[in-house]
Structure 1
Amino acid sequence: MALMFFARLPMTMTGVTLTLYVVADLGHGYGAAGVVGAATTLGMALGAPLLGRTIDRYGLRPVVAACGIASTAFWVTAPHLSYPVLVACALPAGFLSVPAGSLARQILAALVPAEHRRAAFSLDTILVEASFMIGPAAGIAAITSLSATLTLSGIGVMFGSTALLTFLFNPPIRNEDELAPVGSVRPPLRSWLTGKLLATLLVAASALFCLVGTEVATLAALRTHGDVGWTGLVIAVMCAASMLGGIVHGAVKRSLPQGVLMLLLAALVLPVGLAVQPWWLLMLLLIPTNLLCAPTLAATTETVSTLAPPTVRGEAMGLQDASARLGLAVGSPVVGFVIDHSAPAWGFAASGAGGLVLASVGLLWTLRRRTGVAGSTQPSLATAVRARR
């Protein structure tokens, strides 16, 4: 878990450092910086399932070695690239990023017994929150006090170092009871990518849509009322609330299911826009919804690990990672568009409503499939009874 924490840390620095590099050093606007970030995010979303499938088939080391070399090469050379070349390289660089998030979840599922996975996944989510509290701030401090070349190259060295340590440590991706016998056939996609798993992935996307939209609306509200200086404190309180929720979720014997947690998360965002000023009141109103952030993400991982067979767990975790990144990619521009054409308060409403709609679609789909399955079994049971008579 410590190794995966440090493996994620440079990833949390990439967004802000790339944005500042494109704007300050290359002289382009924030829109141009957003194009680079979107290309990287899209590459990660496309690459995560395929890298997970490769890990399932060939093991951890070949993927970590290839991705570690590619990530190091991109970030070391990034400060020497022109903007068009940087955009062209961003997509394949994102595709070949070390899948630290999905890899961490896959390793935990192998090392931790099923009855203790909620606590393990909750702790992992808490560490993710900690990395997002440290990484972006460290990246901004580095690129503003040092040169862009040193900062971006340093991120590349961090990617390479953590990939090398992961390669040498070689943690298991399946436990002894889950090892597939030699010559066994990989289960077909349709046998495990069920409607319930797809609904779980949709709920994961809705959670990230809601969370990133809430962050965008929070920043917009603070900026509109001249309270930008309190942004760091507000975000720190949001992260602390999420970590506290993760501790409680991991400590209790029974917790709420993923769907209920997601609905509560989205519903609690809706009233935040009613009081965006003063800043401290906004901060307090953001605490309840952020208490459910880490539990929702941990419950999603627990559900995916339960539904996916061990032989395809890497691909399933990659699909979860891709769903989360797609939620991030969609949530930010959608909520930003709402704010641009109304007010920051409506950004919170858009975040909550969007999360509710996406989550409700996934949950209703699951319920409908259950009803259909139950209905399809009734004739067969009646036929069996008549045959017995």
Structure 2
Amino acid sequence: MYADRINALPPYLFAAIDESKARMLAKGVDVIDLGIGDPDQPTPSHIVESMCQAVRDPATHRYPSYTGMLEFRKAAARWCKETKDINIDPANQTLTLIGSKEGVAHIPLAFINPDDVVLCPDPAYPVYKIGTQFAGGEPFIMPLLEENGFLPDLDAIPADMLARAKLMFINYPNNPTSAIADRSFFEEVVEFAKDNNIIVVHDNAYSEMVYDGYQAPSFLSVDGAMDVGIELYSLSKTYNMTGWRLAFAVGNETLIRGLGKVKSNIDSGAFDAIQKAGITALTGSQQCVSDMNLIYEKRRDVLLKGLRGIGLDVKTQKATFYMWAPIPSGYDSMGFSQLLLEKAGIVATPGVGFGQYGEGYIRFALTQSVDRINEAVARMEKLRI
């Protein structure tokens, strides 16, 4: 019954986790969910109030612009200048997205023909590969290995793949590994893209989730990056707005226009009232972002100490709200995640769900209070892993 593209899909990882969690809850288990990266704190009140005012305005009830409100795009461009020191033309180099996931999934439709190759990191957000497959492209896996700092080895990509490659996804700060990239890596990517005529899509959804004084650089801040790529920014994690579905793409004008052509034929744009709330988020005080980072930093420190206490060799991450932990010997990632769920009531994401090179790891999300994280650690200690 289903199309081949649907039959070829693996089960969506997070949906399967939800099903497993539901089964345990039905049994009466007190489940501690450290799985899906969905912020547990509410959207800041000044953003909510802005939305309430906007939704009462009948002018927001009509079809929105396909490219997004110019006022929102101006706010996004100003935010990029203030936070990343990049100059963006809001009219031609900015596009409103219904969440960055939508942008990731639609970009291959704009630029990939059947049998074109897309360079996809692994482990990674599954939509990079799935969006490529939906467009008829061929994903080529770039392994992210710990010995390389979870950065792709661009020199290891075979010449025959490079000859067919048209687009590359990168994502730093990284999901799921929490790895970070410096400007020298982005400079290498720009040179690589120019040499091989490859479009670069930098998914920068975790740009503001940073700790210990670290600031994540923008790919577009590197000389020449604007010639080859675009960058996606999400309000989901930065402002606890996951359910609101609002993000934006910035970068090369031709690439922005191509993505916009797909959107204008598939969706009707983001709700104007949500964009007005997004303007408030981007232009208002950023203290709410700093406050959330302090909360996540405390949680990180607690979980880090706890995981190390049970013998897991976990690195201290400087960004994202994920912890990428190597699993104990004698388990694979699915088996270890099942052990945590069935014997300790803890949801964590098996690394293999992010690709074959995620095997051997498990991802914890810092989306529970310090007390609940301490409880999770205590339960893991009782397992005597």
TM-score > 0.5, shorter chain as reference:
no
Higher strand share: 2
TM-score (norm 1): 0.29
TM-score (norm 2): 0.29
Higher helix share: 1
